[in-house]
Amino acid sequence: MSQQRGVNSLQFNQDHSCFCCAMETGVRIYNVEPLMEKGHLDHEQVGSVSLCSMLQRSNLLALVGGGASPKFSEISVLVWDDARESRDAKDKLVLEFTFTKTVLAVRLRHDKIVIVTKNRIYVYSFPENPEKLFEFDTRENPKGLVDLSPSLEKQLLLFPGHKCGSLQLVDLSHSKPCTSSAPFTINAHQSEIACVALNQTGSVAASASRKGTLIRLFDTSSRDKLVELRRGTDPATLYCINFSHDSSFLCASSDKGTVHIFALKDTKLNRRSALARVGKVGPVIGQYVDSQWSLASFTVPAECACICAFGKNTSKNVNSVIAICVDGTFHKYVFTPDGNCNREAFDVYLDICDDDF
């Protein structure tokens, strides 16, 4: 994600009700609906921060230093407990994990923390008395691609496999700690993986390759492909894929500045190519005929990196998607099953501070 307005990275919490913003000036935490700042850590406390991850709506944050003036190392993950009453910032740092290589991603769930470096993924118990449970070697993973199911029933971990274009799935609840449990492998794409996501229950995995034209969904139990969704025909870099809470819809954002929305529960709502009505077509065009194109889409500032997720349902037939951009803007669009999509809210979240509320 290219940096704008001092924003180094953005990440939703597990239920998409909040997001955290890692910045050159520290960290800011926001509530999504209504949009408001929940809290912040200033530069004096934490320096510039490259990554921030929050546990649900709790006071626990995982931070990784980075940027122009870091206070903490890029090879360490520090867990910050903002509920601790102390004037000394050091007292709020309750855990530290240090590695030999730069930390590229952190994911949290109520009982585990997952930390990603370029060629390895570490899983620790969390937050009480953390112990290393698992360690997985991976294919070179410069983007730190990983997802972790928040579900109580299915503790699924998803990350790129050793083979180009493959995914690996590990059920952490069925694996024995400190063993070299062989993950399940899904051959998802022909080129390198660029984006991955799990739904809330961990029953479906989604992925896109570097080409960025197709998003494929797989059943995590059978590893069968469920559906193939077409973002477009020209290459793009996908920044984010997210499922709605009930897995009825999926949204995806790319460097084209467009957020696409697909129907999953009723795939007949997705658009089909007009060529499908023409009849027999050549092999090059034929690959697009059976594709499922997005039900709806909207565009944020051109080529502006953003993360996207589904908002609260306003009614049975009206759903919403939130886009949080690195340029500091907040966008909320509502869409209906017939594909109508309109902007309902716009704000500049970086101009909001908790003193306003």
Between 182 and 37, whose confidence is greater? 37
Between 297 and 5, whose confidence is greater? 297
Candidates 134, 136, 126; CA nearest to 160 is 136
Between 232 and 261, whose confidence is greater? 261
- Average pLDDT score over residue span 72-88: 81
Pick from 2-11, 69-78, 271-280: least confident: 271-280
End-to-end CA distance of the chain: 30
Q: Which pLDDT belongs to residue 177?
A: 64
Q: Which pLDDT belongs to residue 63?
A: 97
Pick from 10-24, 79-93, 236-250: least confident: 79-93
Burial per residue of 254-274, b for 16 or more beta-carbon CB atoms within 10 angstroms, e otherwise: bbbbbbbbbbbeeeebbbebe
| C-alpha to C-alpha distance for 345 and 180, rounded to whole angstroms | 48
- Average pLDDT score over residue span 231-259: 94
Q: Is 257 left (phi over 0), alpha (psi -120 to 50) or beta?
A: left
Q: What is the DSSP letter of 33?
A: T
Whether the pLDDT of residue 91 is over 60: the answer is yes
The two beta strands, 225-230 and 292-293, are: parallel
CB atoms within 10 A of CB 48: 21
Q: Residue type for 66, please?
A: G
| C-alpha to C-alpha distance for 76 and 201, rounded to whole angstroms | 30
The beta-carbon contacts of 34-42 under 8 Å, at least 24 apart in sequence, are 35/330, 35/345, 35/347, 35/349, 35/352, 36/352, 36/354, 36/356, 36/357, 37/349, 37/352, 37/353, 37/354, 37/356, 37/357, 38/354, 39/82, 39/354, 40/353, 40/354, 41/80, 41/82
Between 14 and 175, whose confidence is greater? 14
CA–CA–CA angle 153, 154, 155 (5° rounding): 120
Longest distance between any two alpha carbons in the chain, whole Å: 72
249, 324 contact by CB (below 8 A)? no
Q: Which domains does the chain have, with CATH numbers?
A: 237-357 (2.40.128)
The two beta strands, 225-230 and 93-98, are: unpaired
Query: Is pTM, for the whole model, over 0.75?
Result: yes
- Average pLDDT score over residue span 234-256: 94
Query: Which of the four pLDDT bands, split at 50, 70 and 90, describes residue 86?
Result: low
121, 135 contact by CB (below 8 A)? yes
Q: Which pLDDT belongs to residue 284?
A: 47
CB atoms within 10 A of CB 137: 9
Percent of the chain with pLDDT over 70: 87
CB atoms within 10 A of CB 287: 15
The tens digit of pLDDT for each residue in 153-198 reads 889 999 999 999 999 999 998 766 665 556 789 999 999 999 999 9
Whether the pLDDT of residue 218 is over 80: the answer is yes
The tens digit of pLDDT for each residue in 221-244 reads 999 999 999 998 998 999 999 999
